[in-house]
A and B are shown apart, each in its own frame.
Chain A
């Protein structure tokens, strides 16, 4: 077996050399340059073994190019890929799709709800602002009113008090004036009496009328 393998390999290499030389002519047709090196000997080996012993052919053919395996592989590929397609299209993908769809609608719904709540909040905030402004205005009005009332009250009282006070001041002034007048009126007679007493003590008697005249004359100087 080992001997025949080597023989075949030698033949294959020899032939592959020819094949490669010929291959240059038909090179554009060969797309798979990457495995060309391997493919060429394999094809050549295939040809070589076919001529030598057809029973050994399958063992020595480059396996990916062995036509004997094509039928079975195609059959199993058809079965497995059909099963895969069926499982994917009927079970797995609809399930994943529905999961994603559920999540998407849920997120959208949540976002919409959040948006609705946000708008509600904004509305409430606006109402609160309005109420606050109104209250502030009211409070301002009330404060103004109160201040005005208090001011009027204070002014009234002050006016009352001032009026009372000036009346009393006037009365007091009038009384003072009267007292002063009376006191001033008494000053002459007191001075005359004093002068009469003093003169009497110093130089004998003098009448009240003479004393009065003398005082009046003195106070005139």
Chain B
């Protein structure tokens, strides 16, 4: 940090206060700013683009409708008609993660999905929703989830603990998958971009050498756009599948 040429790939994840409300109190941080921005962008886009309620949609409205139908199809394919009760939930998750990840691709923007606490909170929310709704809907039958049908009784002592562990690890895998992808991607980008700067400082040969990390940075940027969209999709798909477990526990 003392050396301006030295690139710190971790600095981008630093949370800084923008507005503090009193000493030791809650402060409005860059993380909070981008959460608010994400929600604002999602809500404004969806609401403004559909304001005219055109029977024949224009382009902006069409994108909103495609997002709606995309997630609606995802939910109904995974969790069936009964799962559509959770469509707004899955849609909110998908859009929140998607826009957060995409904001992250803009330089100097903070990516709050690179913080494990955020992804873990979202995953835990999914987990809690699944458990609470599953027990509310199916009562004790919900625990059939851990007893696969058609498995002979003598295997159950092995299968049931496996099922329980896999169920309990869901919030961890769900949150770490998103967090790790975004974090690793951003660090990789920063490191390669740092190579360009470092090599560029070495004169002409350095400039030549910097071409390689430059190409890599461009390629990784494209890859990161893919990852950003894909991870939002994966998060939403897995959420729909977990919700399906809550609705139809006996599989």
Residue from B39, B57, B61 in contact with A84 in the complex, judged by beta carbons closer than 8 Å = B39
Residue from B1, B43, B96, B116 in contact with A81 in the complex, judged by beta carbons closer than 8 Å = B96
Interface status of B27 (Cβ within 8 A of chain A): yes
In the complex, the answer to whether A77 meets B116 with C-beta atoms within 8 Å is no
- Chain B residues 117-134 with CB under 8 Å of chain A are 117-118, 121-122, 125
Per-residue interface assignment for chain B, residues 209 to 235, with 1 indicating a CB less than 8 Å from any chain A CB and 0 otherwise: 000000000000000000000000000
Q: Which of B9-17, B140-148, B149-157, B242-250 contacts A (4 or more CB under 8 A)?
A: B9-17
In the complex, the answer to whether A83 meets B68 with C-beta atoms within 8 Å is no
In the complex, the answer to whether A64 meets B116 with C-beta atoms within 8 Å is yes
Per-residue interface assignment for chain A, residues 99 to 112, with 1 indicating a CB less than 8 Å from any chain B CB and 0 otherwise: 11011001000000
Residue from A34, A66, A87, A89 in contact with B181 in the complex, judged by beta carbons closer than 8 Å = A34
With A64-B115, A87-B39, A106-B55 already in contact, the answer to whether A73 and B13 are too (CB < 8 A) is no
In the complex, the answer to whether B173 meets A31 with C-beta atoms within 8 Å is yes
In the complex, residue of chain A having the shortest beta-carbon distance to the beta carbon of B187: A38
In the complex, the answer to whether B15 meets A63 with C-beta atoms within 8 Å is yes
Interface status of A53 (Cβ within 8 A of chain B): no
Q: Which of A90-98, A169-177, A190-198 contacts B (4 or more CB under 8 A)?
A: A90-98
B residues in contact with A76, CB < 8 Å = 28-29, 31-32, 35-36
B residues in contact with A62, CB < 8 Å = 10, 13
Interface of B is mostly: helix
B residues in contact with A99, CB < 8 Å = 50, 53-54, 57, 61, 65
B residues in contact with A78, CB < 8 Å = 121
| A1 to B115 CA separation, bound complex (whole angstroms) | 26
Interface status of B135 (Cβ within 8 A of chain A): no
| A64 to B27 CA separation, bound complex (whole angstroms) | 17
| A91 to B51 CA separation, bound complex (whole angstroms) | 11
In the complex, the answer to whether B184 meets A34 with C-beta atoms within 8 Å is yes
In the complex, the answer to whether B29 meets A64 with C-beta atoms within 8 Å is no
In the complex, the answer to whether B65 meets A100 with C-beta atoms within 8 Å is yes
In the complex, residue of chain A having the shortest beta-carbon distance to the beta carbon of B9: A38
In the complex, the answer to whether A81 meets B55 with C-beta atoms within 8 Å is no
Interface status of A25 (Cβ within 8 A of chain B): no
Interface status of B201 (Cβ within 8 A of chain A): no
In the complex, which range does the number of interface residues on chain A fall in?
A: 35 or more
A residues in contact with B61, CB < 8 Å = 99
In the complex, the answer to whether A73 meets B55 with C-beta atoms within 8 Å is no
Per-residue interface assignment for chain B, residues 3 to 42, with 1 indicating a CB less than 8 Å from any chain A CB and 0 otherwise: 0000000100111000000000011110110011011001
Interface status of B2 (Cβ within 8 A of chain A): yes
Interface status of B180 (Cβ within 8 A of chain A): yes
Residue from A69, A84, A87 in contact with B31 in the complex, judged by beta carbons closer than 8 Å = A69
| A62 to B9 CA separation, bound complex (whole angstroms) | 11
Interface status of B198 (Cβ within 8 A of chain A): no
In the complex, the answer to whether A72 meets B39 with C-beta atoms within 8 Å is no
| A98 to B51 CA separation, bound complex (whole angstroms) | 12
In the complex, the answer to whether B47 meets A69 with C-beta atoms within 8 Å is no
- Chain B residues 67-118 with CB under 8 Å of chain A are 68-69, 87-89, 91-92, 95-96, 112, 114-118
Interface status of A32 (Cβ within 8 A of chain B): yes
| A89 to B53 CA separation, bound complex (whole angstroms) | 17
Q: How far is the CB of B122 from chain A (nearest CB, A)?
A: 8
| A88 to B14 CA separation, bound complex (whole angstroms) | 30
Interface status of A80 (Cβ within 8 A of chain B): yes
Q: How far is the CB of B174 from chain A (nearest CB, A)?
A: 11
In the complex, the answer to whether B32 meets A84 with C-beta atoms within 8 Å is no
In the complex, the answer to whether A100 meets B115 with C-beta atoms within 8 Å is no
B residues in contact with A103, CB < 8 Å = 55
| A65 to B179 CA separation, bound complex (whole angstroms) | 11
In the complex, the answer to whether B117 meets A70 with C-beta atoms within 8 Å is yes
Interface status of A75 (Cβ within 8 A of chain B): yes
In the complex, residue of chain B having the shortest beta-carbon distance to the beta carbon of A69: B15
Residue from B10, B32, B68, B96 in contact with A38 in the complex, judged by beta carbons closer than 8 Å = B10
Q: Which residues from chain A sit less than 8 Å from chain B, CB to CB?
A: 1-2, 5, 31-32, 34-35, 38, 42, 62-66, 69-81, 83-85, 87-89, 91-93, 95-100, 102-103, 106
Known: A76-B31, A92-B47. 11 other contacts (CB 8 A): A35-B180, A42-B10, A63-B14, A70-B117, A76-B29, A80-B32, A81-B92, A84-B39, A92-B46, A95-B47, A96-B46
The 4 A-B pairs with the shortest beta carbon distances in the complex, nearest first, are: A89-B88, A76-B32, A2-B2, A80-B35
